[in-house]
A and B are shown apart, each in its own frame.
Chain A
Amino acid sequence: MAIKFEVNGKPAEVEVEPRLTLADCLRHHLRLTGTHVGCEHGVCGACTVLVDGKAVRSCLMLAVQADGAQVVTVEGLSRDEGLTPLQTSFRKHHALQCGFCTPGMITTAHALLSEEPDCDADRVREVLSGNLCRCTGYISIVEAVLEARAAYKKAAP
Chain B
Amino acid sequence: MKNTFIGASIERREDVRFLRGRGTYVDDLQVPGLLYAVILRSSVAHGRLRSVDASGALHVEGVHAVITAKDMTSKDYPSGVPIVPMRLQPLPEFQPYEQPVIAYQKVRYVGEPIAVVLASSVAVGEDALERIQVEIEELPAVASCQAASKNHSVLFESTGTNRSLTFEARKGDADAAFKAAPYTRRERMRTGRHYGLTMEPRGVMAEWDAVNNKLTVSGAAKVPFFNRRILAKQIGLPESAIEMIENDVGGGYGARGEFYPEDFLIPFAAKHVNRPVKWIEDRRENLMAMNHARETEADLEIACRRDGTIIALRGEVHTDMGAYMRTNGAVGARNAPQFVTGPYRVPHHKVDSHLWMTNKTPVGTYRGPGRFEGSFYMERLLDMVAADLGIDRIELRRRNLIGKAEHPYTLATAQPTNAHDQTDSGDYEATLDRCLKEFNYASVSKLGGKLIDGKYHGIGVACFIEGGAAGPKESARLEVNDDGTITAYMGTASVGQGVETIYAQIAADALEVPIDRIRHVYHGSTGIVSDGYGAYHSRSVVMGGSAVLDAAQKFMALLRQAAGKRFGCAESKVTLDVDKVIGDGTSLPLKEFAGLTAEGAFLNHKHTYSYGTHAAHITVDARLGHIEIVDYVVVQDVGRAINPLTVQGQVIGSLVQGLGGAVLEDLQYDTQGQFLTGSLADYLLPTASDFPNLRCFVTEDHPSPINPLGAKGAGEGGIVAAGGCMANALANALQSFRVQPRDLPLTPARVWQLVQDARQ
Contacts and interface: CB of A to CB of B under 8 A. Distances in A.
| Genuine A/B complex | yes
Interface of A: 17, 19-20, 27-28, 31-41, 43-44, 46, 73-75, 78, 83, 87, 90-92, 94, 96-103, 106, 121, 124-126, 128-142
A115 to B, nearest CB: 18
Contact of A137 (B197, B498, B645, B656): B656
A95 to B, nearest CB: 9
A106 B123 contact: no
Contacts of A40: 282-283
B51 to A, nearest CB: 31
A100 B680 contact: no
B21 A78 contact: yes
Contacts of A139: 652, 692, 694
13 contacts: A19-B123, A41-B679, A91-B12, A99-B250, A99-B496, A101-B199, A102-B21, A121-B692, A125-B689, A125-B692, A138-B692, A140-B649, A140-B652
Q: Lowest 7 CB-CB distances: which A-B pairs, in order? A: A34-B21, A98-B496, A99-B18, A100-B250, A137-B656, A74-B21, A43-B680
B11 interface: yes
Given A138-B656, A142-B692, A75 B20 contact: yes
Contact of B199 (A31, A130, A132, A141): A132
Contact of A46 (B17, B24, B199, B655): B199
A102 B679 CA distance: 21
Given A43-B679, A75-B21, A83-B19, A98 B689 contact: no
B398 to A, nearest CB: 29
B691 interface: yes
B657 interface: yes
B691 A137 contact: yes
Interface in B3-56: 11-12, 14-25, 27-28, 30
Contacts of B679: 39, 41, 43
A135 B692 contact: no
Contacts of B200: 36, 38, 98, 100
A102 B19 contact: yes
Question: For the complex, would chain A's binding face be called helix, strand, loop or mixed by DSSP majority?
Answer: loop
Residue of B28, B199, B497, B657 most packed against chain A (CB within 10 A)? B199
Contacts of B502: none
Nearest to A93: B645
B253 interface: yes
Contacts of A41: 283, 679-681
B664 to A, nearest CB: 12
A136 B17 CA distance: 17
A124 B23 CA distance: 25
B248 interface: yes
A119 B24 CA distance: 33
Contacts of B24: 33
Given A129-B689, A134-B251, A35 B199 contact: no
A103 B17 CA distance: 10
B16 A126 contact: no
A91 B19 contact: yes
Given A34-B20, A99-B496, A136-B653, A91 B123 contact: no
B212 interface: no
B688 interface: yes
Contacts of B249: 98
Given A121-B692, A137-B657, 11 more contacts: A20-B123, A28-B30, A35-B21, A36-B25, A75-B22, A96-B19, A98-B198, A98-B250, A100-B250, A125-B692, A129-B689
Interface string B99-141: 0000000000000000000000001000000000000000000
A140 B282 CA distance: 28
A133 B199 contact: yes
Contacts of A35: 21
A97 B656 contact: no
B495 interface: yes
B687 interface: yes
A131 B251 contact: no
- Among A37, A46, A75, the one with the most B-chain Cβ atoms within 10 Å of its Cβ is A37
Contacts of B691: 137-138
Contacts of A37: 27
A96 B17 CA distance: 11
Contacts of A142: 688, 692
B283 A87 contact: no
A92 B25 contact: no
Contacts of A138: 656, 686-688, 691-692
A134 B688 contact: no
A43 B25 CA distance: 20
A33 B12 contact: no
A134 B21 contact: no
Contacts of A130: 687
Contact of A134 (B14, B498, B645, B685): B685
Interface in B194-217: 197-201
B149 interface: no
A142 B652 CA distance: 13
Interface in B170-204: 197-201
A137 B16 contact: no
A134 B694 contact: no
Contacts of A137: 649, 652-657, 686, 691, 694
A44 B199 contact: yes
A99 B14 contact: yes
B648 interface: yes
A145 B601 CA distance: 41
A92 B11 contact: yes
B283 A97 contact: no
A34 B199 contact: no
A69 to B, nearest CB: 19
B646 interface: yes
Nearest to A92: B11
Contacts of A131: 687-688
Nearest to A124: B688
Question: Which of A46, A78, A102, A106 has the most B CB atoms < 10 Å from its CB?
Answer: A102
A26 B12 CA distance: 28
Contacts of B123: 17, 19-20
Nearest to A102: B18
A119 to B, nearest CB: 13
A137 B496 CA distance: 14
Contact of A103 (B12, B21, B497, B685): B21
Q: Which of A20, A41, A130, A138 has the most CB of B within 10 A?
A: A138
Nearest to B287: A39
